[in-house]
Amino acid sequence: MIAYFDCFSGISGDMIVGALLDAGVPVDWLRDELGKLPLNGYRLEVEDVKRGGIGGKKFRVKVEVEQVERRLGDIKELIENSTLPDDVKDFSIKVFERLAEAEARVHRVGVNEIHFHEVGGVDSIIDIVSASLSLSYLGIDRVYASEIPLSQGTVSCSHGLLPIPAPAVTELLTGVPVYQSGVRGELVTPTGAAFLSVVCKGFGAIRPMRLKCTGYGAGERDNEGLPNLLRVLIGEQLPPSPALVKRGSEGELEVDSVMVIDANIDDMNPELYGFVMDRLFDEGALDVSLTPVYMKKGRPGTLLKVICQAGREREMANILLRETSTIGVRFYRADRLKVHRESVEVQTRFGRVKVKVARTPWNNKAQPEYDDCRKLALERGVPIREVYADATKEFERGGYEREA
């Protein structure tokens, strides 16, 4: 079974547990399992609520006895001394280790010096262990999530006021596709970010599945506009279509999501397009293209299209607005079906050349790197097409080495 967390309104520990309870985890079973932790002074509350007209479950941990601040070692010892299943222990400890590493980087101290304060409180321990137990109960073996919305403002904590997203959150989401939501107030908590950073196998579009159930976990606030909910979709993972994918081979097709940004321009000096393209590629654009178009009143123009990783669209849009004459851009997400790609090296009679290889279910496509061929052609005084031909022949002969 796979689970997909749709984080359209953010993610937190209590929202994760609420969504999984709404998807079918029995509350009484969860209470019994949590009793295996050597922890007391709290009680659970689970309430059916509505956020923006959509029903979900609100999970709360009510602390009834004053608790001590805990370090990483204290929390690990508490979990290890429980009678919880080993896989639940391992996952819960990994989440706290990720939290400790992030906090240590933010505060420039050692991992074992971190006092968890709010994150080390009973409620966060219960949230993390409950999430692990719930995934186990539902038989989830793979977890995916959408891109993560970030917000703005400040949040009060033991260190005083911190910017949103909290510094620990940005550390935990390094490498994860994020975007600016425009919402003021905390959408992503350190506990939610740590959970994702440990459990998620990938971010972006929903993976192919036979949907079994959906659950909604409610946040504390009832926001206007966007419902303050985390949605989880649970189902059986579908195998790739035999017509498209050769299973178990390097030719397996891959699916991911990218952002597309484009603008129509009809009043800019064409000489500037080369500079704009270079700037976009320097900032991490995956591809940039220029297409001649006819615009209103029959004016010739150019459609400038940029493809980038999710979370980078704002930087790309800023370049277009700053470096071109356009006064507006469009951006949208697009799903991609792509072949497995790698880079190899071949030894030609002129020198070594890198070759880009796309391995499809039907055949292999190879393309020598232009820069390598150009360099050798100039050094050896030979036509570049001869370097291309020799590199292609060596690849087809099998005389290549994979890059380390």
Domains of the chain with bracketed CATH: 2-237 (no CATH), 254-338 (3.30.70.1380), 340-402 (3.10.20.300)
Within 217-323, residue ranges assigned H as helices are 273-282, 313-323
Q: For residues 229 and 54, is the Cβ–Cβ distance under 8 A?
A: yes
In angstroms, the Cα distances linking 4 to 16, 43, 146, 222, 231 are 11, 29, 8, 23, 8
Q: How far apart are CA 386 and CA 33, in angstroms?
A: 70
- C-alpha torsion sign, points 60, 65, 66, 70: negative
Q: For residues 178 and 201, is the Cβ–Cβ distance under 8 A?
A: no
In order along its 404 residues, the chain shows pLDDT tens digits of: 999 999 999 999 999 999 999 999 999 999 999 999 988 888 899 999 999 889 999 999 888 777 677 777 888 889 999 999 999 999 999 998 888 888 778 767 666 666 555 444 788 899 999 999 999 999 998 899 998 988 777 766 655 677 887 788 888 888 788 888 777 778 899 899 999 988 988 888 787 889 999 999 999 887 777 899 999 999 998 754 444 444 333 445 667 778 899 999 999 999 999 999 999 999 889 999 999 999 988 899 999 999 998 778 888 999 999 999 999 999 888 877 777 778 888 999 999 999 988 876 667 788 999 999 999 999 999 999 999 999 998 888 876 666 54
Phi-psi region of 295 (alpha: psi -120 to 50; beta: other; left: phi over 0): beta
0.85 surpassed by pTM: no
CA trace torsion 99, 102, 103, 107 (10° rounding): 170
Half-sphere exposure of residue 375: CA atoms within 13 angstroms, side-chain side: 9
**DSSP code, position 187:** -
Nearest to 360 by CA among 378, 384, 342: 342
CB environment 250-283: b (16+ within 10 A), e (fewer): ebbbeebbbbbbbbbbeebeeeebeebbebbeee
Residue 75 corresponds to which amino acid?
Answer: I
Q: How far apart are CA 369 and CA 351, in angstroms?
A: 13
**Across-strand partners of 192?**
none
Would you state the pLDDT for residue 401?
65
Q: Phi, psi at residue 252, to the nearest 5°?
A: -65, 135
